A = this chain, B = another copy of it.
Amino acid sequence: MTTRPGPRERLLDAARDLTYTQGVHVGVDAILKQANVARRSLYQHFGGKDGLIAEVLRADVGEARYRQVMDEAGDDPRRRVLAIFDELEKITTRPSFRGCRYTSAELALTDPAHPAHAEVRAYKDGLHQLFTTELTRHGHPDPSLGADQLLVLVDGALAHAVTRPDSHPALAARAMAELVLDRAPQP
């Protein structure tokens, strides 16, 4: 027996789905309808649509998914980093792929005061820390710079794949990630 999710969870689910397929400018009414929730619940739980959008990004499983992919690849930092690009190749070649949720939100929300921007920043900073840790273990001469480079590759693969998926940008990025990793002193 499963319990039906409450209004808060239903709002998050509907917003997660609709903002990905239709963009963050999707109407509030469409979200309320899909969630089958009254407008007052939106305000009670999130203070309004902006708060809901920010919470979708904060609560997203993106970083946890990166950790999971790395952990499934074992303990070797080089294999753990490259596993991310293998995963990106899978994600970016799915028919349902519509780009990176965080980049899309960041670009579409042109008001710098929108609360979603802080969530996008926190997410990217989290990934930077994740990569820095792996590159440090790998013996990279400049783990923070290397992590910046890996983030450019991740964002580049995700952004480019929306327009030219047939060029397999995640594989192109993977080959460059190998070059970044090979800057590490060899054992």
Contacts and interface: CB of A to CB of B under 8 A. Distances in A.
Nearest to A101: B107
Nearest to A160: B155
14 contacts: A25-B108, A99-B106, A99-B107, A103-B107, A125-B164, A128-B167, A148-B164, A149-B173, A151-B160, A151-B169, A152-B157, A152-B173, A155-B155, A176-B176
Given A107-B98, A153-B152, A124 B158 contact: no
Interface residues of A, number: 45
Contacts of A154: 156
Interface of A: 21-23, 25, 98-100, 102-104, 106-108, 110, 117, 120-121, 124-125, 128, 145, 148-149, 151-160, 162-164, 167-169, 172-173, 175-176, 179-180
Given A172-B149, A176-B176, A179-B179, A159 B158 contact: yes
